[in-house]
Amino acid sequence: MRKTRSGIDAKGGQQLPDAINELKRTDDINKMLVAEGFNVAYTPLAYIDYGIKFTANSLLPKRQFTRDFTLIYELPWSSKLYEALAGATSLVASVMQIKGDTRLPEIYRLPAHSKDAAAESAYLFGLAAGAQKRITDSRFYWSMGASHLGNYVIFLKGNQIFLSMVDFEEAKSNQGLFAGVFRNRRNKKETTKILKSLELSSYSLVEGVNVHGYAAPEYFREAFVRGFREGYGNPDKRKLMTLELLCEAYDLSALPN
């Protein structure tokens, strides 16, 4: 957020309804994934109100802006409170406790020590990604905007590497009277977009890391797609990945700090 002559530029910020949806959907989807034995990367905690409110498509100060942010929204959520706030337009930021924030494209763009090990790791990442997509497809649309490899986070726990889907700001329930008519078509479109993002990353996939126009190497693409399809077809078909395998595959010291 920065001040301009015409007001305040909120590019990259969140509006209150989006933040609340992200917190609520992250909590909902985390419960689904944990119930199926997955580790999750983000745990929702609260949101920060920056003291700025949208009025008539512009940003106007709601009160004196200070550095002393206050966490004003904590679990558990009240459904009535959620509905009451959904029409508000405050500038806010969601607050998450994270286990890691390395994005999958940051891994496959690293120099490979061993293409065989890199392909094996890609297959294991694909298994986990496909399984998670299949599990969440039963209740939620992830959103077309979020459906890309930049929204899979890689993190370390003990000596094991885990992958977790994130960014549920625009996620929506796919339940309802007529939802079944469109669910399969929409799920296929999201899956296609995820796999298509292997071929051409964009800068927005990894904030702060310029991967514009960077496609995953062919050996990674082929192994990931195979793993994704197998994991989607059978979510119980998953294998653990060790840190040793990823170190054998890539120079992890080249990751940005």
pLDDT digits (tens, 9 = 90+) for 220-240: 999 999 999 999 999 988 889
Q: 38-72: per-residue pLDDT in tens?
A: 999 999 998 888 776 654 344 444 433 333 333 43
pLDDT at 2 over 80: no
Mean pLDDT to the nearest integer, 97-102 = 93
The number of angstroms, rounded, from the C-alpha of 69 to the middle of its chain's C-alpha atoms is: 25
- Residue keyed to tokens 């126009």: 213
160 has pLDDT over 90: yes
For position 250, what pLDDT does the model report? 96
Q: Is the pLDDT of residue 7 over 50?
A: no
Residue 92 has what pLDDT? 82
What are 143's two structure tokens? Answer: 């959103």
Q: How many residues does the chain have?
A: 257
Q: 44-58, 149-163, 174-188 — which is least confidently predicted?
A: 44-58
pLDDT at 179: 66
% of residues, the chain, pLDDT over 70:
72
Phi, psi of 72 (to 5 degrees): -115, 5
Q: What is residue 131's predicted lDDT score, i.e. its pLDDT?
A: 96
The overall average pLDDT reported for the chain is 79
Q: Read off φ and ψ for residue 15, nearest 5 degrees.
A: -90, 155
